[in-house]
Structure 1
């Protein structure tokens, strides 16, 4: 069943500008070496966030694991799927989520995983807004052969999204205190909710 009315041509256009996960990681690393972040906007803060995320992703690439019961179901996915992550190197939630999505894709024979930059694909991004915001990451689940879009995940696991919502309602901001709290939540969860929530979307 098709859930999003995203034009197939728009999906194809995004894929034409996509990176493999390894290419995306290298792009972010190379830009940091040049003192830059991804995206047209450059600042000391965005570079600092990119550097922090580089360290997090490197750690998770090495240490994160897919739960055996989830891997077993991914191995049996019957339909060819392409998962497209809308992301940027400075995005903290993307750094926590993408390593797990990549490892899920690696154990699924019928899945290809690609990354696209949000600010290079504004029209594609605008089909997957969170409310009215271009929040990332968004992991878009598409049919590899027809380019139909079946689901979109993100920008955060449910519990993490609730933490942000409650904090914003109480204090009116997203600040460093909240970001530290989120980091602790991600560390404690160890990818469990990400894997369970995303699996529920891709079991077509």
Structure 2
């Protein structure tokens, strides 16, 4: 693929939280709130370091910082309860341009799937709540791989389920961990920033960068 030409992949792989669904801000808020209710202070800066990572990697970062006495599992349980209650009440919003991009890829008859660090049961609930579960032909979830992002496993699994070699896919990500995973998987990446700016050493791996998902639709031609 030439950088100035329209992308011509055989399949497209999407991250979920922060890329398609506007859920990362809620997760950061509710993780810090859950910790506070249990008598601990978590800084937003610390939680933002975990964006895009699976729970194992997230736990290591937080426990390494706070110490082994930090009640990570109880905090996670309470955080998920707070998120569930909020989303049941207010729903889950799309990131800007999502439906424009999905509809465009459907018109082009390009198959697309999901590679998310979120466990499958929770991912399906989020996608259903957002009204887009049925749009995706395959899913690869955080509880289905041994190593989460920034390891490539989850993207390799998604590509396999789409029936394509990694180099024939395009991956969409919003987080440094996800972009690192795409690079390790050999999948060209499209970066759409949400909460965290990727550092320069990761940006050099990015195939394209877009302001939102509607802009990204233009990459695939008319």
Which one has a bigger Cα radius of gyration?
Answer: 2
TM-score grouping bracket, smaller chain normalisation? 0.3 to 0.5
Q: TM-score, normalised by structure 2?
A: 0.35
TM-score normalized by structure 1?
0.38
